[in-house]
Amino acid sequence: MVKKVIEGQQAIATGVKLCRPKVIASYPITPSTHVPEMLSKFVANGELEAGFINVESEHSAISACIGAQATGVRTFTATASQGLALMHEVLYIAAGMRLPIVMSVANRALSAPINIWCDNNDSMAERDTGWLQFYCENAQEAIDLIIQAYKIAENKEVLLPAMVIIDAYNLTHTMEVVDVPSQEDVDKFQPPYKPVYAYLDPDRPITQGSFGTPEYYMEFKYSQQRAMENAKKVIDDVFEEFEKIFGRKYEKVECYKTSDAEIILLCLGSMSGTAKEAVDRLREKGIKVGLAKITVFRPFPEEVVEVTKNARVLAILDRNISLGYTGVLRTEVASAFVNLSKRPLIANFIVGLGGRDVTLEDFYEIVERKIPEFKKTKRLVEWINVKGGA
Amino acid sequence: MKSVIEEVELLAPGHRMCAGCGLAISTRLALNVAGINTIVVLPTGCLEVTTTQYPETSWRVPFIHVAFENAAAVASGIDVALEMMGRKGINVLAIGGDGGTFDIGFQALSGMFERGHRVTYICHDNEAYMNTGIQRSSATPYAAWTTTSPYGRYSIGKKKRKKPIGIIAVAHDIPYVATATIAYYEDYQRKVKKALSMDGPAFIHVLVPCPTGWRFPPDKTVEISRLAVETGVFVLWEVEGGRMENLKVTVKPKKRKPVEEYLMPQRRFSHLFKPERRQDVIDKIQRTIDEKCERYGL
């Protein structure tokens, strides 16, 4: 293990290199472009033995990954925002064909207006595609979760593709100190890829991507749902194994000072770091506040209920908006409580769309002013730090 | 004459294609040349839906279908994966329809050409979106009826000419481009063999008559295919090394028949003959063919 000062994209590229994929197909998009740049350099100078396909679109990037993975090799692609949206239909197919492709996503706002900065709407829109989703708080998590994502995705009880998601700029372009695992340790953790069922081989001809009539289609979807269920335990096991080798502990929902908290903030991504700082400072003022950070969003981490149910208020911060309703995390987390009689009041705050900073002051505003108000008004959703808004 | 189809069919019978479908004939001819060491990639379309209904399959070679517009991208991934696995001597054969090739799959096709993958791409051109019910594509010829280019008081059918996909492929400077059709199966099979021997992308544009969409009896498929060549509607040629000056016409009709002989048996052109004969339109089609044939030295 070596400590290096690297940016989030470099952490992603380094993690990918350590996992030795054989085919990488990628198309440039801000702010994810450093990932393919670095990987193509690794290939060019012989640090990584892989085929690099400079595709002509993100749609073709994910399609080429499907072709390569279905032939029998480990693959990787990276994208963001509009690129992820362009992949949309193919994402369902990668999952439906049970191909454990790993992709990094730089969380960037969707047009219009065009905007290259951070929010989660791009990856939240792919919630239902059948991909595992891992959200990172920092560059260390980015490198670690890439390595773990391959192992989880390729487990034969899972066989689902995985997205490792980092915030635009806040993570993609921010230099941080990262413990870079050694190749030796990663090789121990991550054996070479061996396709289990579906691979294209003239010695064993099979048909992949067949036509599923109403008589069979549901069973295909049911098997994907079961794979998602299986993933819950596999994720815990892989996190545990990772901790043993690399000494860093991951949880689907990370709790920070929640055990006695009356107010629990819930969010994901880089703002979790700011949230932890806010929790510390608010506690100095005597406010019992904690943070629940979502690391695994698909499969949905039902643990979130157990760790937040004793709070009086669960304040969900969404860096995304399902227009016409609330933030996506709110609808997801609130629905997990629906059959419980004892549950916290659930408040929802929309923050930081299109890269607007989410600051300590925003957290103070939410905890000290908005939550007391909310206890009376019970407003479904509130927008924070928006000009001329609520 | 040598046997056209080997004893072991790589496209198994029992598929769900229409009676007289040109795709079935073309696919058998191509697979017969490609052999068992072949991976087949299909976009969505007639051939895909009629041969892969779970839990059955007609494919006795490894097969993959992903979506409508990305067969060339999927094939690119397969090509590079095989290379990284050190697997040699496996053909990557993509077979798309005109919709999946001329239209929605065109970008992926162009990318695959530019990157130089060892993929042979056969375009089965039946001149419309047949799988969805005979809608106009950019391969539909001038004046043809389809369900979205109907004739009427203000319409003669498809308004514009067909996209010259073969010439566009040549412009990508790829090792091999050819046209073919099922009636001239020896010419076709020779071209498939040549395409598969190339160290890079090859493209074969195959005209496959569709009895259902072109509105002719299912026993006339091969006859219509032959008439397309005899009238000069479809010229059989090949180009090596991406240079138009190397274009070689591989089948020259002895005497070109008038286009009317090709149009008349197909009810997609029946509005050119009744209720009143549209000589102006027929003449226009003939003139276009004459000009084209002059360029090809026919």
Min CA distance, B268 vs chain A (Å)? 30
The pLDDT, as a whole number, for residue B3 is 53
A200 vs B36, B62, B84: nearest CB = B62
Interacting residues of A237 by C-beta distance below 8 A, sequence separation 6+: none
Last residue of a domain, one of A246, A274, A308: A246
Nearest-by-Cβ selection for B60 from A59, A205, A212: A205
Domain with residue A336: its CATH number is 3.40.50.920
Condensed to tens digits (0 to 9), the pLDDT of residues B180-238 reads: 999 999 999 999 999 999 999 999 999 999 999 999 999 999 999 999 999 999 999 99
Question: Are the beta carbons of B64 and A50 separated by less than 8 Å?
Answer: no
Same domain, A241 and A280: no
Say yes or no: A86 and A183 in one domain: yes
Measured in angstroms, the CA of A25 and the nearest CA of chain B are apart by 8
pLDDT at B1: 43
Of B57, B70, B84, the CB nearest to A63: B70
Which residues fall within 8 angstroms of residue A327, CB to CB, at 6 or more apart?
A316, A317, A318, A319, A320, A321, A348, A349, A350, A381
In this structure, the number of other CB atoms found within 10 A of the CB of residue A379 comes to 12
Q: Which residues does chain B have within 8 Å of residue A70's beta carbon, measured at their own beta carbons? A: 64, 74, 77-78
Of B52, B78, B84, nearest to A210 by CB-CB distance is B52
For chain A, list residues with pLDDT below 70.
Answer: 389-390
Residues A335 and A238 in one domain: no
What is the per-residue pLDDT for A325? Answer: 98
A to B CB pairs, distance under 8 Å: 152
Looking at the structure, tell me whether residues A27 and A159 fall in a common domain.
Answer: yes
User: How near does any CA of chain B get to the CA of A100, in Å?
Assistant: 15
Read off the pLDDT of residues B102-138 as tens digits, 9 standing for 90 and up: 999 999 999 999 999 999 999 999 999 999 999 999 9
d(Cα A17, Cα B213) in Å, to the nearest integer?
Answer: 51
Q: Which residues of A are less than 8 Å from B76 in CB distance?
A: 25, 53, 55, 60, 64, 67
Structural domain containing residue A37: 2-246
Cβ contact (<8 Å) for A67 and B78? yes
On whether both A203 and A332 belong to a single domain, the answer is: no
Contacts of B201 in chain A (CB under 8 A): none
Residues A183 and A295 in one domain: no
φ, ψ (nearest 5 deg) of residue B178: -145, 160
Given this model, what pLDDT does residue B2 score?
54
Instruction: State which of A223, A246, A269 marks the end of a domain.
Output: A246
**B65 contacts A208? CB cut-off 8 A:** yes
The CATH number of residue A44's host domain is 3.40.50.970
pLDDT of residue A1: 75
* Residue A390, in any domain of the structure: no
How far is A266 from A337, CA to CA, in rounded Å?
14
A18 shares its domain with A96:
yes
A135 and A238 housed in the same domain: yes
What's the half-sphere exposure (Cβ side, CA atoms, 13 Å) at B75? 35
Q: Say if A388 falls within a structural domain.
A: no
The number of distinct structural domains making up chain A is 2
pLDDT at A388: 81
User: Is there a single domain that holds both residue A233 and residue A290?
Assistant: no
Helix (H, G, I), strand (E, B), or coil: what is residue B32? helix
Whether pLDDT at B52 is above 70? yes
- Given pLDDT bands bounded at 50, 70 and 90, which one contains residue B8? confident
Out of A211, A246, A281, a domain closes at A246
Claim to verify: residue A121 and residue A178 sit in the same structural domain: yes
What is the predicted pLDDT for the residue at B5?
A: 60
Task: Name the minimum distance, in Å, from the CA of B76 to any CA of chain A.
Answer: 6
Q: What is the pLDDT of residues B17-42, one digit of tens each?
A: 999 999 999 999 999 999 999 999 99
Contacting residues of A for B108, CB less than 8 Å apart: 56-57, 59-60, 63
Q: Domain B22-295 is classified in which CATH homologous superfamily?
A: Thiamin diphosphate (ThDP)-binding fold, Pyr/PP domains (3.40.50.970)
Same domain, A147 and A259: no
Looking at the structure, tell me whether residues A13 and A116 fall in a common domain: yes
ipTM of the complex: 0.97
Q: What integer pLDDT is reported at residue A200 of this predicted model?
A: 98
The overall average pLDDT reported for chain B is 96
Taking a C-beta distance cutoff of 8 angstroms, is the pair A242, A148 a contact? yes
**Which residue has 């393919």 as its token pair?**
A36
